[in-house]
Amino acid sequence: MRRRTILAIAVTLFLARTVMPDDGKASEIIRDPHFQRGFTVLAPVSGKRVVEGVLQWDAVGGKPIWNLAQWHTKHTIAGAKAERLPSGAVRFSNAAKAVTVGPAGSEEADVILAVNASKEYGDHARKKGEGWPHLLVSQRFETHPAIPDLKEVRFHVSVRLRRSEHHKTDNYTPRLHAAQFLFFVTIQNLNKQSPGYGDFLYLGVPLYDDRRRVTRPFAAPDIWGKFIYTPASDVYTTESTHDGQWVTIDKDLLPIIHESLKTAWAKGSLKDSHDLSDYRLGGMNIGWEVPGIFDVEMQLRDLSLRAVAK
């Protein structure tokens, strides 16, 4: 269940910008953290960054920062029209998914991501080896702080599970059929002189898994060989989104980043460079993976990733 689609932002190799946070000060590296500039919608074909459209209601702030990935969907959201809600929020939707962006202080702030997998699967549960629908927002960081130069990487988010409805079939098995909402940041080798230039791992923060209140740790390569390191959810919080209440995570990821690299090296991943100075913060994604027939909806606000220089 933990294999990850390779996001185009993570495999496309950009020249690393070496701008660092001011000494001793926290620098926010997530751009447009309240999602006010909309989304560039990617086509459903995984492994390729093909722009299919833009979801934007006001171009005053400039072009969208966020990519919206909808891998393996049968119902693309590209071309959806903006629907204004009484609160001032804007919703883009079709039968299988919805993205709602709310203004600060509104009931819908900051963003709500919804997937109706029952519209994707019908009454046919996926079989082993088949793809599953995703709804992820992602971005490549504009600056890439080097891991050895940091004394803290402070991750913050508040999330609330608004809906999780399971349409169970006779051949249901939790190993194949589930709903997960996760945050990932890539730790990437961005030293152009390194033989491992471009290689990366995913460091995960599990925010919801329908199968258990406390998720289990995971550390292994995905089917493309990219290492995934996801600690158990109680490393980040003792609360559970299963309760339908707001759950806030505020955690320094730097010790976990160091542990993720050590574990990847010990297991034979990132084998072309064991030099910590080669690795930087690359990009991030957050959202749904729905291998089971679930109709789900998650709200998140106050997303932040702040790098603090030594």
Q: How many whole angstroms from its chain centre is CA 57?
A: 23
DSSP string, 54-80: EE-S-GGG-S--EEEE-TT-SS--TTP
Residue 277 clears pLDDT 80, i.e. is over it: yes
Whether 276 is in a domain gets the answer yes
The confidence score (pLDDT) of residue 24 equals 56
The confidence score (pLDDT) of residue 15 equals 33
Q: Going edge to edge, which strands form the sheet with 39-42?
A: 51-55, 39-42, 66-69, 134-140, 279-289, 180-189, 200-209, 227-230, 218-221
By CB neighbour count within 10 A (0-12 exposed, 13-18 middle, 19+ buried), where does 7 fall? buried
Q: For residue 210, what are the domain limits?
A: 25-305
Whether 16 is in a domain gets the answer no
What's the rounded Cα separation, in Å, for the pair 45 and 137? 16
Whether 222 is in a domain gets the answer yes
List, for residues 187-208, the tens digit of each pLDDT value.
999 999 999 999 999 999 999 9
- Buried/exposed 201-218: b ≥16 CB within 10 Å, e otherwise: bbbbbbbbbbeeeebeee
Whether 9 is in a domain gets the answer no
Q: Which residues does residue 134 pair with via DSSP β-bridges, in sequence order?
A: 289
Whether 1 is in a domain gets the answer no
What's the rounded Cα separation, in Å, for the pair 299 and 272? 39
At residue 14 the predicted structure's pLDDT band, cuts being 50, 70 and 90, is: very low
Q: What is the DSSP letter of 87?
A: T
Phi, psi of 107 (to 5 degrees): -65, -25
The confidence score (pLDDT) of residue 169 equals 92
Whether 177 is in a domain gets the answer yes
Whether 262 is in a domain gets the answer yes
In the chain, the percentage of residues whose pLDDT exceeds 70 is 92
Whether 110 is in a domain gets the answer yes
Instruction: Quote the number of domains for the chain.
Output: 1
Per-residue 3-state assignment (H helix, E strand, C coil) for 200-264 = EEEEEEEEEECCCCCCCCEEEECCCCCEEEECCHHHCCCCCHHHCCCEEEEEECHHHHHHHHHHH
The more confident residue out of 33 and 12 is: 33
CATH number of the domain to which 149 belongs: 2.60.120
Residue 301 clears pLDDT 60, i.e. is over it: yes
Q: Which amino acid is at 292?
A: G
The confidence score (pLDDT) of residue 26 equals 84
In the chain, the percentage of residues whose pLDDT exceeds 90 is 85
When the pLDDT of each residue in the chain is averaged and rounded to a whole number, the result is 92
The predicted model scores a pTM of: 0.91
